[in-house]
Amino acid sequence: MRVSHRRAAVRCLTALALSLVALIGCSGEGDGQAAATAPVTSATPSASADETAPDGTSASPSAAPWAGTKQFVQIEDARTGDGQTYLSVRPAQKKAHTQFEAWVIVPGEGPYTEVPMAEDAKVLLSVPLGDEKHASSYSQAEFVSRLTAQSSSARSLVGYDLSFDGEGRVTRLQSLYTP
């Protein structure tokens, strides 16, 4: 009987250990990459008929999948409407460049999700969107203008660290230096 109790205990502890590893990986603790590369659970949220976003598309509380987190993303497009900036984003990965003090962007897969920027969001840009290697402050309007002036192939080579508030709005955007 003792052997069966030990086996049951070992199975429980193994399940607990695996659960902890999964939770730590998804929480972003550790090397900082886990949260940035965690998959989005709801890229196209469902909504009731009476919930609409400022652009007339559906929205719901699940439309803010990154609320309160930091994410590494690609930005496909940006627009301004109703006095607010919106970004079309999807998760990506970043790897240190082997020959330069820069980053290599590994594009993500899947659909882009539109997220709003907070009115007072900080925008820090470096080359190729900014003028310098080191990130400098720009307005949201300057960011939208610089991004949309890039070709779609050039946009896919740039990655961004984003910070989100509790409502899923971007409070900080920083482009990574890529040569």
pLDDT at 52: 45
Does the pLDDT value for residue 70 go beyond 60?
A: yes
Q: Of 141, 119, 143, nearest to 131 (Cα)?
A: 143
Instruction: Identify the band that residue 178 occupies on the pLDDT scale cut at 50, 70 and 90.
Output: confident
What are the tens digits of pLDDT across the range 81-138?
989 999 999 999 998 888 877 788 888 899 999 999 999 999 999 999 999 989 999 9
Does the pLDDT value for residue 141 go beyond 90?
A: yes
The residue among 7 and 149 whose pLDDT is bigger is: 149
Q: Of 136, 138, 133, nearest to 178 (Cα)?
A: 133
pLDDT at 161: 96
What are the tens digits of pLDDT across the range 4-57?
445 444 454 444 443 433 333 444 433 333 333 333 333 333 333 333 434 433
pLDDT at 116: 96
pLDDT at 97: 81
Cα gap 17→8, rounded to integer Å: 14
Cα gap 24→4, rounded to integer Å: 30
User: If DSSP states are collapsed to H, E and C, what string results for 38-103?
Assistant: CCCCCCCCCCCCCCECCCCCECCHHHCCCCCCEEEEEEEEEEEECCEEEEEEEECEEEECCCCCCE
pLDDT at 148: 96
| pTM exceeding 0.75 | no
Instruction: Identify the band that residue 62 occupies on the pLDDT scale cut at 50, 70 and 90.
Output: low
